[in-house]
Structures are given as structure tokens and as C-alpha cells.
Amino acid sequence: MYEEGLASGELQTVLDAFAPPPAPVQIVYAANRLVPKRALAFMDFIAAAFAKIPQLTVSPHP
């Protein structure tokens, strides 16, 4: 969304020294139950979508 503006110089970042560190995105579910296929499909979908966004970190689900 904003990457093109940064690359072209139209936009500039400010307060870079105060940027928060990257934080992982996690999906939490009950380990003592079977995970529904639709939940597994959602986890795979989100992991693939987030993998395309360099600002996000993704850990594979167990």
C-alpha cells in the first residue's frame, strides 16, 4: 500500500528510531482436541497471505 510511495521518494518514514520490533503472529487453539479442517485451512491461508507481507513474521503451525 505505501511501499511504492517509499520507493519513489514521495513518502518518507519518520521516527524510525522509535519503531517497535517485529512481533510474531500466532494462532492459538486447544491442543487436546481435534482441529477442524476449516481451521487448518484458515491457518494455512493466513500463513500464506502473511508470508507475502515482509513486515510480518510467520511461524508454521504445529
- For the segment 20-59, what is each residue's pLDDT rounded down to a tens digit? 887 777 888 888 889 899 999 999 999 898 888 776 655 5
Number of structural domains, the chain?
A: 1
pLDDT at residue number 59: 54
Asked if pLDDT for residue 4 goes beyond 70, the answer is yes
The reply to whether 4 falls in a domain is no
Cα separations in angstroms, 37 against 17, 24, 25, 40, 42: 43, 23, 20, 5, 9
pLDDT at residue number 42: 94
The reply to whether 30 falls in a domain is yes
9, amino acid identity:
G
Q: Name the residue range of residue 27's domain.
A: 20-62
pLDDT at residue number 2: 79
pLDDT at residue number 55: 67
